[in-house]
Amino acid sequence: SQQQTVVWSSDGRTTTTTPTTMSRPRFSCKPQDIKNAIRNNLLPILTISGVTGGVLLGLILR
pLDDT at 6 over 80: no
Look at residue 32 in the predicted model and tell me its pLDDT.
82
At residue 10, what are phi and psi to the nearest 5 degrees? -65, -25
What is the pTM for the complete model shown?
A: 0.36
Distance CA 28, CA 45 (A): 19
Number of domains into which the chain is organized: 1
- The mean pLDDT value for 41-54 works out to 88
Domain, as residue range, for 47 = 5-61
